[in-house]
Structure 1
């Protein structure tokens, strides 16, 4: 594989819960692993309403972007898994607050269940010309 692979890790987002990195940077593209709404200190939020869970998952994503020297405006593609499509409107409102005018490609995928009983998981691709 051409180019170096850099593993991205920050204590400002939930630690990886298995054999994977929070994110991987390769040839200027940041591949962010699925972010569940686990707080950076490791506390779970599975008992919280969807809106709280969505904000925590997005906070994790933003912290990982920052650790990689990127920002929300560098997001290229976001995939969101929600346990129940009825959460789509709430997610869209929260997501818009985080991203402002930036509109990366996105998919919202309804699923029957997520790990630990969470209601949302977010993965993303990001890149910027200044990143190598």
Structure 2
């Protein structure tokens, strides 16, 4: 596909496998899952869930900006939580990063995430509308 571009920024954690931080196809950007790694140390920012959630959105924001967009351009957000009891906390943190109209969203409970993370988020962003 000739209109496909890989998005990569040093302001978000490097991919820890054979994937891109994001792929832009036309005016749609598919953002890979972000876990709460500090982009410089590649270590979890904290054991605290709320701190982890903030870092996940900071990482997503960095990739959005590299693709000439912002969190507000996200149309679909998928959240993966090791403990669904953190649902309320992630909602509170999301309100700090997003304004209405909010993206469509799914929140899924999972058994385990990479590097012992408690939360991961992936997204689809549309830019240039």
Given the two structures, how large is their TM-score scaled by the length of structure 1? 0.92
Q: Which runs of 5+ in 2 are unaligned?
A: none
Cα deviations by residue, 1:54-83 (Å, 9 ceiling, x for unpaired) = 111110000000000001221010000000
- Which residue of the partner structure matches residue 19 of structure 2? 20
Alpha-carbon separation, structure 1, partners of 2:102 and 2:46 = 30
Aligned residues: 129
Aligned residue runs from structure 1 range 14-93, under 5 A: 14-45=13-44, 47-93=46-92
> What SS does the aligned partner of 2:123 have?
strand
- Which residue of the partner structure matches residue 114 of structure 1? 113
Computed over aligned residues only, the root mean square deviation of the Cα atoms, in angstroms, reads 1.3
Q: Once superposed, which parts of structure 1, at least 4 consecutive aligned residues long, lie more than 3 Å away?
A: none
Judge conservation of contact 2:72–2:99 (CA < 8 Å) in 1: no
Judge conservation of contact 1:76–1:127 (CA < 8 Å) in 2: yes
The alpha carbon displacement at 1:43 in A equals 3.4
> What SS does the aligned partner of 2:54 have?
helix
The alpha carbon displacement at 1:99 in A equals 0.4
The alpha carbon displacement at 1:88 in A equals 0.5
- Which residue of the partner structure matches residue 98 of structure 1? 97
The alpha carbon displacement at 1:48 in A equals 1.9
Given the two structures, how large is their TM-score scaled by the length of structure 2? 0.94
